[in-house]
Structure 1
Amino acid sequence: MIKRKAWACLLLLVAVISCRKSFEDRPLNFVSEQYIWDETDVTGNFAQQWVHKIYSQLPTGWSRINGLPLECASDDAVPSNPGNATWNMINSGYDPLNTFDNNWGSAYSAIRRVNIFLKNYRRVPWIDSLLPKWLGAEVRVMRAYFYYDLMKRYGGIPLLDNQVFEADDPALFSQRRSSFESCVQYVVNELDAVRDSLRPDETLANRGSGNGNGEGSDGGAGRIRKSIALAIKAKVLLLAASPLFNPSSTPALDYTGYAEGNTERWKAAADAAREVMDLNLFALENNRYLLNYTRVNKEFIFTRYGASYQSEWGYRMSPVGYNSINNRACEGQVSPTQELVDAFPMKNGLPITDPTSGYDPAKPYNNRDPRLDQTVFYDGATWLKRKVEIFEGGRDKPNSAAVANGIQTQTGYYLKKGLANDASNAGFTTVMFHPSVTSTFCLIRYADILLMYAEAQNEYGGPDASVYSAVEAVRKRAGLSPFTLPAGLSKDAMREVIRNERRVEFAFEEQRYFDIRRWKIAKQVYGVPLHGVSIIKNTDGSLSYSRKTVASPYFNEASMYLYPVDNKEILVNSSMQQNPNY
């Protein structure tokens, strides 16, 4: 018990210290309950800072794991640096002693902060009667999201409701995991309970598009609103309906999944996504590049509130042969795979494997889906007024130590997603004083809602007109011509179309990594060799392309569809069940 208490005290100390950033004007020993829940502060200023801290714990992508996007551990990319720690997971997987993307501690830290707020915020003499109502609802939605973020990694997890444990409370060390079904029901109930108590949504007309400086008309961008609660509900119900947690056979353990498949769960997910669509508050932005450098636009539903623009993203992602202001060398830290590049269809919407598509292996990047050029740097693409050279010995793949730290692409490609459209510019676009920036990380955007609806409705009732309409809207905005799909697709054929649309539309937005797990296809698409391309420039100036293996990821389908619970959690809590086969 002494060991348990020491561990709990350490966790609580870390949580308290991390809170201090919101209260820097006072020494740590002055940050007390009386200070935060100030019974003389009619504005609730310190209580609001507490909520801002919770917002800051929402996940942010782009450089979240070992300085790289999460997709560097998927079939979409690998790290360019062979010494990056993500390679450990690629080569060896994860286990209770060597975890990856472990958000258990951070999520429960945020949940604890929510519960502390709910326990104390009524002590503040709020002069604005609406504000405490909104804040109370906002933190409950965030708590639901943190639970969702845990569930998609671990399955069923401990539900704390409104409890705030003290370090010496024995109950802290006897928490058991709830069934996945119980977790889904709890989260959905929470979202339904507060949906109408949140601050009102901005209308589509008022929100409009960003102004190019990273701002729009909505000064409260990122604040939890009804639309966000509904969108999170749709995400949760889609996860619950997916094959990993809704198997058609082979019942799963009670804390990892449902006992049997149920098509009605697909209907619930489709209905939830449709409710967001029917709000008529969102639309697809005509220019996808706008999503890269604005934090307010027609398409963003849920963004990480208060997140700054990703500093120096252009330097870190651009091909290694480029330099920008101050002669700083670019680093090309992410290497997209050939599998991702091949997933992009031709501009006529046909897959490159279709013999009628017009695909030419000698000119593999010609006439492709415009999203390819917006996502990946390939050989011959234009960037900063010159052609990208990724052929062997080219400026962007020199095969020498001349590049920064000797690091260059592993696959023949570099990541472009998140950058401004600087092909014809002499230097990086500067927004908010950061060069060629990414926007505030968007957790849910309207294209996601459309494809979530299409997926769920297709699984429930087949590819009806509404499924076609949702998918084709995304393809039309992408610039495919024609964007329409063949009539009479089967459910299976439409499923493959939707899954591929999700892959190319949301590349590097932390969708693919979890999609291949919830669809239970990770063994087939990730636990196999991944490839890149080697390009030789011949003496006559022509190019020869050859496929090469760049990684052979380890994936044990008996265990790795769910994460292991960190061994430390098992040591301090004998009631904590480990996930199967770890």
Structure 2
Amino acid sequence: MYCCMKKNYGWICFAFVAVIFTVSSCKKAFEDKPLELLTIDFIFDQNDPTGDQAYKWVTNIYSKIPSGYNRMLGGSSLGVSSSVRTNISLVPLECFSDDAVPSADGNEAWNIIRGGYSPLITFDDNWGNCYSAIRAANIFLNYYQQVPWADSSRKVWLPNEARALRAYFYYELIRRYGGVPLLGDKVFDSNDPELLKLKRNSFEECVNYIVAELDMAKDSLRPDASLAGRTTDADFGKMRKSIALAIKAKVLLLAASPLFNPSPTPDRSYTGYPSYNAERWKAAADAAKALIDLGIYDLEPNRYTLMLQRANKEHIFFRMSDPRIDNSYSYYMSPPGYKPANRNSEGRVSPTQEFVDAFPMKNGKAITDPSSGFTASNPYAGRDPRLDQSVFYNGAKWLQRPVEIFEGGRDKPNDVTLAAVQTQTGYYAKKFCANDSSSANYTTTFFRDGGFVPPWCIIRYADILLMYAEAQNEYAGPDAAVYAAVAKIRQRAGLSPFALPPGLSQDQMRDAVRNERRIELAFEEQRFWDIRRWKIAKTVYGTALHGVTITKNTNGTFSYSPKVVTTPYFTDAMYLFPIAIKETQVNRSMEQNPGY
């Protein structure tokens, strides 16, 4: 269980190695006691009123939060740690959704796209990572009171941080696997025979536990900072009431969604609730509204601010780290014809035509609407400004020249001797790059994890607004509050008019909200999970995905011809991830997900 039984001690070793690392820098002599006891005694030192080592213990748990951007490895193993990542093969999670595919062909990412995943060939497997974090939280909760805390606020904040972090890691587990074993506060010894007998709790039990833990912790965390305070707060990003509320809203929205709240056919397996219950949508809406009502977050007027400033009006929960200044991410994503400072750009990600077509015209109308003004001969003119912020398309301005993705163009030269990859779809991903259309070089941005990407935002205010709109619409229909939440997003985007048409049905509003989530939160690891919790992945992803072939005519115009890029493999079993075979073989009580 938890990647550690006898042959694999991953989740035990996380806590143990962290302790050993700390102890190695300590000059105390501990030769007279067993090492494990010494390490715990050192971290939770009964003679250290500062509690600094215990404080660092909690801080280290944050490092287990999964990052984003290009985190999925297309080489030897998907989703592995940064220490073993290769370069060009890294792709975002959206490359396994209907929004994009990897530009490079022939790597392991394509094996997953074309062949799926199994208990033997797992995908984004966070089982061991999450349980190691949960174990670390449990260790803290078991031992923190032996520290003679001089700072009484630490004694209150830190255990509730550990509790909230533990709840978050359970959320990471249940959205992948459904119901999982709940450990409570127990810290298992590696030789404990009970580890071999642990069974999965139901999804409902897990949700109830996570929500209860967040409710217990939320009012005893660090106080939320004002916008001005965030810019100078070194701990901005650590658990606050607003973050606990945001995670709670995420959990309850997952629980209310069709994957776990099917209608009208009840799902009585351990992965779901007993039957459909509309009140779950109300609970999710209420949770999102509680965060909105705090009144301490808002949308940033300029969406590029989100890429350039960690502390802003909109970021609620993000992965903390030690940042430095760099512009590497722009090189990773920009079309390969751009070589500022004599360094090749890589164009790693190819958005699909389905994703590009999801962006409406600037007047807010879908491109399929005959009155929208869309023209197939000039398909990118007059579109939602978020398209230009998310996608490199043919003719878009970048580094003082138009992007050339037509056949034989500088960004699709079709020269097999070039080391750089080329687009599979006629597009490259632009999201998270600075606004460098008129620049001579890529803008340096606020980067983290060795300079690869900006701090990874897990939940931002736009997400909360759309979560509220979705849940409220499912519970009460498209009332004024739903319209207002969506309009706020579309107004910031620059649509005119930004209001949705009056009189939409619940189904029409559902489609509108889902599309807003797709384009507003593009490449933020939302679409991958959304199409699963909505249970539409088999329809929108397990079908042909398209791109475009662009030909430059002799008169300087362009012709656009659709093409099929791939048909991903997707089965009903893949709505949940398989539990790795190493877990189920060691613990025969561990039930595998259906279909694997």
TM range (shorter): over 0.9
Identity of aligned residues (%): 58
The partner residue of 1:263 within 262, 268, 278 is 278
What are structure 1's unaligned runs of at least 5 residues?
Answer: 208-215
User: C-alpha distance in 1, partners of 2:57/2:122?
Assistant: 29
Structure 2 residue aligned with 1:316: 332
Structure 2 residue aligned with 1:51: 58
Matches within 5 A, 1:318-397: 318-325=334-341, 327-397=342-412
Q: CA deviation at 1:308?
A: 3.6
Letter of the 2:495 counterpart: L
Distance 1:10 1:68, change over 3 A: closer
User: C-alpha distance in 2, partners of 1:380/1:146?
Assistant: 43
* Deviating more after overlay: 435-444 vs 120-129: 435-444
User: C-alpha distance in 2, partners of 1:297/1:159?
Assistant: 35
Structure 1 residue aligned with 2:590: 576
Letter of the 1:421 counterpart: N
Structure 2 residue aligned with 1:440: 455
User: C-alpha distance in 1, partners of 2:351/2:488?
Assistant: 26
Matches within 5 A, 1:104-143: 104-143=127-166
Structure 2 residue aligned with 1:426: 440
Q: Check conservation: 1:22, 1:50, Cα contact below 8 A.
A: no
Q: Check conservation: 1:4, 1:572, Cα contact below 8 A.
A: no
* Deviating more after overlay: 336-345 vs 121-130: 121-130
- TM-score of the aligned structures, taking structure 2 as reference length: 0.92
User: C-alpha distance in 2, partners of 1:482/1:218?
Assistant: 38
Structure 2 residue aligned with 1:494: 509
RMSD: 2.1
What are structure 2's unaligned runs of at least 5 residues?
Answer: 74-89
Q: Check conservation: 2:327, 2:444, Cα contact below 8 A.
A: no
Q: Check conservation: 1:457, 1:463, Cα contact below 8 A.
A: yes
Letter of the 1:17 counterpart: V
Q: CA deviation at 1:206?
A: 4.2
Q: Check conservation: 1:51, 1:135, Cα contact below 8 A.
A: yes
Q: Check conservation: 2:336, 2:420, Cα contact below 8 A.
A: no
Q: CA deviation at 1:254?
A: 3.4
Q: CA deviation at 1:428?
A: 1.0
**Aligned-partner SS, 2:522:** coil
**Aligned-partner SS, 1:302:** strand
Q: CA deviation at 1:9?
A: 4.0
Q: CA deviation at 1:538?
A: 1.4
Letter of the 2:427 counterpart: Y
Q: CA deviation at 1:433?
A: 7.6
User: C-alpha distance in 2, partners of 1:357/1:406?
Assistant: 37
Matches within 5 A, 1:52-451: 52-66=59-73, 67-204=90-227, 206-207=229-230, 216-306=231-321, 308=323, 312-325=328-341, 327-403=342-418, 405-432=419-446, 438-451=453-466
* Deviating more after overlay: 116-125 vs 232-241: 116-125
CA displacement, residues 437-487 of structure 1 (integer Å, 9 cap, x when unaligned)? 742111110011100000000000100000000000000000000001111
- TM-score of the aligned structures, taking structure 1 as reference length: 0.94
Letter of the 1:465 counterpart: A
The partner residue of 1:548 within 555, 559, 563 is 563
Structure 2 residue aligned with 1:13: 13
Structure 1 residue aligned with 2:80: none
Q: Check conservation: 2:323, 2:447, Cα contact below 8 A.
A: no
Distance 1:93 1:433, change over 3 A: closer
Letter of the 2:523 counterpart: F
User: C-alpha distance in 2, partners of 1:415/1:421?
Assistant: 14
Letter of the 1:451 counterpart: L
Structure 1 residue aligned with 2:518: 503
CA displacement, residues 306-325 of structure 1 (integer Å, 9 cap, x when unaligned)? 26468711111111011122
The partner residue of 1:32 within 35, 39, 42 is 39
Distance 1:447 1:129, change over 3 A: same
Q: Check conservation: 2:346, 2:420, Cα contact below 8 A.
A: no
Q: CA deviation at 1:34?
A: 2.0
1:536 is aligned to 2:559: no
Letter of the 2:25 counterpart: D
Distance 1:317 1:26, change over 3 A: farther
Q: CA deviation at 1:41?
A: 2.0
CA displacement, residues 127-146 of structure 1 (integer Å, 9 cap, x when unaligned)? 10101210110111111010
CA displacement, residues 237-273 of structure 1 (integer Å, 9 cap, x when unaligned)? 1000000000113332432001110001000110111
Letter of the 1:108 counterpart: Y
Distance 1:302 1:387, change over 3 A: same
Letter of the 1:530 counterpart: L
Structure 1 residue aligned with 2:81: none
CA displacement, residues 200-253 of structure 1 (integer Å, 9 cap, x when unaligned)? 00124644xxxxxxxx23332111000110111111110000000001133324
Letter of the 1:381 counterpart: A
User: C-alpha distance in 1, partners of 2:15/2:562?
Assistant: 49
User: C-alpha distance in 1, partners of 2:417/2:526?
Assistant: 35
Q: Check conservation: 2:462, 2:489, Cα contact below 8 A.
A: yes
* Deviating more after overlay: 413-422 vs 426-435: 426-435
Q: Check conservation: 2:445, 2:454, Cα contact below 8 A.
A: no
User: C-alpha distance in 2, partners of 1:341/1:265?
Assistant: 33
Q: Check conservation: 2:4, 2:10, Cα contact below 8 A.
A: no
Structure 2 residue aligned with 1:211: none
Q: Check conservation: 2:310, 2:446, Cα contact below 8 A.
A: no
**Aligned-partner SS, 1:32:** helix
User: C-alpha distance in 2, partners of 1:20/1:467?
Assistant: 52
User: C-alpha distance in 2, partners of 1:54/1:301?
Assistant: 18
Distance 1:82 1:493, change over 3 A: same
User: C-alpha distance in 2, partners of 1:316/1:484?
Assistant: 36
Letter of the 1:57 counterpart: K
* Deviating more after overlay: 243-252 vs 129-138: 243-252
Q: Check conservation: 1:450, 1:470, Cα contact below 8 A.
A: yes
Corresponding pairs, count: 570
Q: Check conservation: 1:180, 1:254, Cα contact below 8 A.
A: no
**Aligned-partner SS, 1:160:** coil
User: C-alpha distance in 1, partners of 2:463/2:300?
Assistant: 13
Q: Check conservation: 1:431, 1:437, Cα contact below 8 A.
A: no
Structure 2 residue aligned with 1:213: none
Letter of the 1:298 counterpart: K
**Aligned-partner SS, 1:371:** helix
